[in-house]
Amino acid sequence: MQRFARFVALLVLLALGAGQAVAGVEGDTIQAEVNKAPNGLALTPPMGWNSWNKFACDVNEGTVRATADAMAASGMKAAGYQYVVIDDCWHGPRDANGFITADAQKFPSGIKALSDYVHSRGLKFGIYSDAGRLTCGGRPGSQGHEYQDALTYARWGVDYLKYDWCNTGDRNAREAYAVMASALRQSGRPIVFSMCEWGTAKPWLWAKNTGNLWRTTGDIFDSFSTKDPKRDWAHTVTDIVDLNEPLWSYAGPGHWNDPDMLEVGNGGMTPTEYRSHFSLWAMMAAPLIAGNDIAHMDENTRSILLNSEVIAIDQDRLGAQGHRVATEGTSEVWTKPLANGGIAVLLFNRSQQPATITATAQQIGLNGKGQMHARDLWAHRQVDMRAGALTATVEPHGVAMFRLDS
């Protein structure tokens, strides 16, 4: 009861202050929230599935249930995929008291029943909202309803909130995300907070104690490097890599750079390009949120999303984001330090021709580490490291990925 009274008081406060710049007592409260320790969640990059990349606004409870079933049965759950997240367009109107409801056509059983279903499959449940008056898809946003929405999500058993940035007017991003972070904390339920403001206000500089992950770019587009002529804000895989890679020092356990959800299996890239996309995301310690129809995926897609040796690089508990250590024309060498003193090494060929790429001992940072053993994480076999260097002929748009251990 006491908690509810507190919620109501905060609701009034926020209804008065929503959309205003941070100032005065409220500003101090928000600042105190920003400075608080993070929620202790997402100590490795979150893994799961999100409806948007494949289904956009065509999502409904049948799709979500089938996805949860497939995740549990296909080996994805066992491989670490955990969160089943409904993106935009699940919302109906707010009720007379301002509480959000579900779209009754698409989710006739309601969100609580769906959340229970996902949990019954041993998985976690996520949902989507927006810091503005409306979501990007034109559904009700959370502005002015943050505490009420957080309470609703907690009652529904939500474990993950993706919080978007459309229709926010002149709202201050740091303030807006701090309000929802505070609301989630006070809901009493552990909820991973996924910030989706596309990197506009550089959240890597201020959001470490606010969100568990923050998008660093505009939306991904299912293409290796060919731009979408109709959507200049959408980014190809190589665009995103170039925007997200320089931010490597800001990522760590509980707070990750998010280069957007995976497109693996959605049809716009070749299997080689999808392997590169997945490998680069793992090197960047990115959240691995599948964005395909996992209830109907083919063997190729499955073999990429379920490559446990690549997943282990992403999920390494040191939580370091890997980065590029050498570039020669269109050939790149990347490294990522691992918790056991090992190193992940990626050779990346951006060109349309095969390329022989070498990572030298110095580039890898082997000096003083003694003899190490290398394993090819796509061929699943040990490889020879001549004089401490790694060399491979890499197919066009492809990668070779290794794990080095002493």
Site of interaction with ligand GLA (CB under 6 A): 52, 87-88, 136-137, 164, 196, 219
Is 149 among the catalytic positions?
A: no
To ligand GLA, the closest distance from the beta carbon of 99 in angstroms equals 22
What is the smallest separation between the CB atom of 210 and ligand GLA, expressed in angstroms? Answer: 18
Residue 41 or 134: the one with the smaller Cβ distance to ligand GLA is 134
Q: Which residue is nearest to ligand GLA (CB)?
A: 136
143 vs 335, which CB is nearer to ligand GLA?
A: 143
In the bound complex, what is the minimum distance in angstroms from residue 169's beta carbon to ligand GLA? Answer: 16
Reduced 3-state DSSP string for the chain: CHHHHHHHHHHHHHHHHCCCCCCHHHHHHHHHHHHCCCCCCCCCCCEEEECHHHHHHHCCHHHHHHHHHHHHHCCHHHHCCCEEECCCCCEEEECCCCCEEECCCCCCCCHHHHHHHHHHCCCEEEEEEECCCECCCCCECCCCCHHHHHHHHHHHCCCEEEEECCCCCCCCHHHHHHHHHHHHHHCCCCCEEEECCCCCCCHHHCCCCCCCEEECCCCECCCCCCCCCCCCCCECHHHHHHHHHHHHHHCECCEEEECCCCCCCCCCCCHHHHHHHHHHHHHCCCCEEECCCHHHCCHHHHHHHCCHHHHHHHCCCCCCCCEEEEEECCEEEEEEECCCCCEEEEEEECCCCCEEEEECHHHHCCCCCCCCEEEECCCCEEECCHHHCEEEEECCCCEEEEEEEC
164 noted as active-site residue: yes
**In the complex, what is the shortest distance from the CB of residue 106 to ligand GLA, in angstroms, rounded to a whole number?**
15
Catalytic residue, candidates 159, 219, 239, 293: 219
Nearer Cβ to ligand GLA (52/153)? 52
- Among candidate residues 87, 88, 103, 164, the one labeled active-site is 164
At its nearest, how many Å lie between ligand GLA and the CB of residue 337? 30
Measured from the CB atom, the residue of 88 and 245 that comes closer to ligand GLA is 88
CB-nearer residue toward ligand GLA: 137 or 190: 137
Catalytic residues: 164, 219
